[in-house]
Amino acid sequence: MIEPVTEIRISQPHIQRQAPSPDEGIKVKAPPPEPSPIRQYLLTRGNSVFADRLFHVLMVLCALTIFAIVGLIAWELVTSSKLTWDKFGFGFFYKTFINPVTNSPLYWDPVNEQFSAAPFVYGTLVSSFLALLLAVPLGVGLAIFLTEMCPRALRGPLAFLTELLAAIPSIIYGLWAVFVLVPLLREYVNPMLTHTLGWTGFFSDDNPTGLGFFAGGVILSVMILPIISSLTREVMSAVPHSQREAVLALGATRWEMIRMGVLRNARIGIVGGIILGLGRALGETMAVTMVIGNTPEIHKSLLSNGSSMASVIANEFTEAVSDMHRTALIEIGLALFIVTIIVNALAQLLVWAVTRGAPSQAH
């Protein structure tokens, strides 16, 4: 190692050393140079261990709020629905009372504090499955068109349009449904359905308003369509081109290629997308409330008025006077909460399994 060597000179007054005798030639190490101002400044900076740890803790806390939120919601709903649960138990969801005067089923009786959520469960299920029936073929069809058949120039605008559909708030769908869709159903569609399909028992003409399960199902289908479509597109695009090419090389037509090369590989993801759409349909409130008729009754005809779990809460909560009434509504909310969590968790698992953990953009 080479060390700097300096002879001490008497003319440097700041060096407090004895001058060596001229014949000695002592070699002495010079003091190391003063660190520059920058180095000095940086040496004064701390090790930031405390700041880093504090930052880490804060970020963990932020992330944990997500758990806290779910826990808090569950806790609040469970404790607030205790009253109804204690009185009715699990039968709350399927029990049927009988109206002694008319001898017909009576489910929801705030006056006599008899509550059964059966009609709402029925309404939610009916409207949701009707929505799926309409939305799945359309959504998958749109996805097929966009990924496999669409001319390149149209793809961007159409995808944008689908995104817009997903962004429209429920209230605006509801507004449009009340003033445009319902009259349409009332004047043209419902009579036609009753005329052609009345024999099935699912369509009868004793509700002239145009509201009802069918109206709810139709507007719901428009709302869940973008979810099903964009997720189907996502999983279809994730299928590697080699799969498509392999099928085509065997002489398949385009549809056969889609069916065997793409849909077959993507079907788990598509099912996931459908379940995600179902999850959205189950909890949809505003649009459904405005067109389903808000009658707590169970009827076979899709054209009769009904009610859904979300819609009864929206309708009656602010006017509920008795504690029992309010807690009954909260218990319905709790059921919605649990069901949508299970459905969404299942859907997320399916979608994740296909797209291998790639972030979901379907919201």
Partner 1 sequence: MGVGIEVTNLNAWYGSNHTLQDISLHIPANHATALIGPSGCGKSTFVRCLNRMHETNPIARVTGSVRVGDLDIYADAKPVQVRRRIGMVFQRPNPFPTMSIYDNVASGLKLNGYSNRRVLDDIVEKSLRNSALWDEVKDDLKKKSGASLSGGQQQRLCIARALAVDPEVLLMDEPASALDPVSTSKIEDLIFQLKTQYTIVIVTHNMQQAARVAEKTGFFLNGRMVEFDSTHKIFTNPSDKRTEDYITGRFG
Partner 2 sequence: MYEESLKSKMRAFTDHAVTALAVLATILVVTPLVVIFGYLLIKGASSLNLAFFTQIPKPEGENGGGMANSIVGSGVLLGLASLIGIPIGIGGGIFLAEFGRGTTLANAIRFTADVLNGVPSIVMGLAAYALIVSPHVSFLPFLGHFSAFAGGVALGIMMIPTVCRTTEEMLLMVPHAVREAALGLGVPNWRSVLSITLKTASPGIITGCMLAFARVAGETAPLLFTALGNSFMSTSLNRPIEALPLQIYVYALSPYDDQHRLAWAGALVLIVLIVVAVSLVRYVASRGVLKGAS
Q: Provide the minimum distance between the beta carbon of 324 and partner 2 in the complex, in angstroms, as a whole number.
A: 15
For partner 1, the closer of residues 56 and 254 by Cβ is 56
For partner 1, the closer of residues 41 and 75 by Cβ is 41
Amino acid at 222: V
Q: Provide the minimum distance between the beta carbon of 169 and partner 2 in the complex, in angstroms, as a whole number.
A: 3
Q: Provide the minimum distance between the beta carbon of 356 and partner 2 in the complex, in angstroms, as a whole number.
A: 13
Contact partner at residue 323 from partner 2, partner 1, none, CB < 5 to 8 Å by partner kind: none
Q: Provide the minimum distance between the beta carbon of 110 and partner 2 in the complex, in angstroms, as a whole number.
A: 17
Among residues 25, 33, 100, 359, which is the contact residue for partner 1, using CB under 8 A?
33
Contact partner at residue 144 from partner 2, partner 1, none, CB < 5 to 8 Å by partner kind: partner 2
The closest alpha carbon to 144, from 247, 261, 250, 52, belongs to: 261
Rounded CA gap, 280 and 228, in Å?
10
For partner 1, the closer of residues 37 and 157 by Cβ is 37
For partner 2, the closer of residues 229 and 301 by Cβ is 229
Rounded CA gap, 333 and 294, in Å?
16
Q: Provide the minimum distance between the beta carbon of 12 and partner 1 in the complex, in angstroms, as a whole number.
A: 19
Q: What angle do CA 293, 298, 302 make, to 5 degrees?
A: 60
Region for residue 87 given its phi and psi (left: phi exceeds 0; alpha: psi -120 to 50; beta: otherwise): alpha
Among residues 10, 49, 60, 153, which is the contact residue for partner 1, using CB under 8 A?
49
Contact partner at residue 103 from partner 2, partner 1, none, CB < 5 to 8 Å by partner kind: none
- Which 3 state secondary structure label does DSSP give 98? strand
Dig out the tokens for 326 from the structure: 């309010």
For partner 2, the closer of residues 7 and 245 by Cβ is 245
Q: Provide the minimum distance between the beta carbon of 55 and partner 2 in the complex, in angstroms, as a whole number.
A: 4
Q: Provide the minimum distance between the beta carbon of 88 and partner 2 in the complex, in angstroms, as a whole number.
A: 18
Cβ within 8 Å of residue 266, ≥6 positions away: 232, 235, 236, 238, 239, 354
Contact partner at residue 168 from partner 1, partner 2, none, CB < 5 to 8 Å by partner kind: partner 2
If one counts every other C-beta atom within 10 angstroms of the C-beta of residue 55, the result is 11
Instruction: Report the Cα 267 to chain-centroid distance in Å.
Output: 20
Q: Check binding of 48 to partner 1 (CB under 8 A).
A: yes
Contact partner at residue 345 from partner 2, partner 1, none, CB < 5 to 8 Å by partner kind: partner 2
DSSP string computed for 237-306? HHS-HHHHHHHHHTT--HHHIIIIIIIHHHHHHHHHHHHHHHHHHHH--HHHHHHS-------S-TTS--
Q: Check binding of 37 to partner 1 (CB under 8 A).
A: yes
If one counts every other C-beta atom within 10 angstroms of the C-beta of residue 170, the result is 17
Q: Check binding of 36 to partner 1 (CB under 8 A).
A: yes
Query: In the complex, which residues of this chain contact partner 1 (CB under 8 A)?
Result: 1-2, 32-33, 35-39, 41-42, 45, 47-49
